[in-house]
Amino acid sequence: MELLVAYEKDPAGHNIARFISQELEKNDSLYRGKYFDLAIISSPTISADWLEDKFDYDGYIFLSKHAAESGVLALTCHNTGNFSDAKFGGSSRQVSIPHSHIQKTYIQNLWNARSKFSEFQITIEATHHGPTALNKPALFIEIGTTEKEWNDTNLCNSVGQIIVDAMKEQKKCYPTAICFGGTHYPEKFTNELIHGKHSLGTVIPKHALEHIDQSLFSHIIERNVGATVALLDWNSMGKHKQKILELLEKTDLEVIKL
């Protein structure tokens, strides 16, 4: 069973959680349900590496606000991890275990309901921030991009319902790909998640490829249990393309250029 997690002072996360909690039963510090449980915590979700000390679940889905300097309205989701220094939770040079299949189900359901969200960009983000140390899969689902959207009850309720529906669906398995290249909002990888056959593990954007050495690469492979493919945004890998290719040659991953 999965645990949904929201920070009580995160307006978007708390609003989504409040909607979802309506069909769950409160039991001590948890809201319990048939398909998943829900916890509202008193500290930021990006620093929730402690979560498994208190809660033992098969995976963790974090409900959160999304902020961007561009101000572009976006509904996003992403796996977590740091490729260099840990500036926003988690540990340096550590990535989480991706929640690949639930991410794909959620983003496809969100895309299918896109007429409700016509003002919003539906996109994944590259892997970033904490928590990073959990021993079960982790995924962030976010509403952006300003306080207006975070406090829009109807918007949060609509996203909350899509999350509930995704959690209730029979879990499907897809071939999982580790992704290299692209921007922080990687269009090619988002399109693959929505329309393609792969689910996505760790997504390493172009600007982070400089930090990938053998040690970090091996750690990423280890955390992406079951991944069989490396997806490369071929024209957006920069000067580190050859280094990544040489690292991939030592693995059994099928390399696919997008």
User: Which spans in 182-239 are helix H?
Assistant: 187-195, 214-223
In 3D space, the residue among 133, 130, 140 whose CA is nearest the CA of residue 103 turns out to be 140
Q: Record the tokens describing residue 219, joined without a space.
A: 């750690």
Average pLDDT, the chain: 97
More confident residue, 190 or 171: 190
**Are 253 and 228 a contacting pair, CB within 8 Å?**
yes
- Residue 219 in this model has a pLDDT that exceeds 90: yes
- Residue 33 in this model has a pLDDT that exceeds 90: yes
Compute CA distances 217 → 69, 95, 122, 188, 210, whole Å: 30, 10, 29, 22, 11
pLDDT of residue 105: 97
pLDDT of residue 173: 87
Look-up: residue for tokens 């991939």?
248
Is the overall model pTM greater than 0.95, yes or no? yes
**Are 182 and 189 a contacting pair, CB within 8 Å?**
yes
Encode pLDDT of 64-87 as tens digits: 999 988 889 999 999 999 999 999
- Please compute the mean of the pLDDT values over residues 89-106 and round it to a whole number: 97
pLDDT of residue 192: 98
108: Cβ–Cβ under 8 A, 6 or more apart, which residues?
A: 193, 194
Q: pLDDT-based confidence at 28, cuts 50/70/90?
A: confident
Cα of 5 vs its chain's centroid, Å: 13
pLDDT of residue 29: 87
**Are 164 and 23 a contacting pair, CB within 8 Å?**
yes
pLDDT of residue 151: 97
Q: Record the tokens describing residue 6, joined without a space.
A: 């929201």
- Please compute the mean of the pLDDT values over residues 89-108 and round it to a whole number: 97
Distance CA 238, CA 104 (A): 27
- Please compute the mean of the pLDDT values over residues 40-68 and round it to a whole number: 97
Gyration radius (Cα) of the chain, Å: 17
**Are 130 and 80 a contacting pair, CB within 8 Å?**
yes
pLDDT of residue 147: 95
Q: pLDDT-based confidence at 37, cuts 50/70/90?
A: very high
Encode pLDDT of 233-256 as tens digits: 999 999 999 999 999 999 999 999
Encode pLDDT of 132-174 as tens digits: 999 999 999 999 999 999 999 999 999 999 999 999 998 888 9
Q: 251 — phi, psi (to 5°)?
A: -115, 175
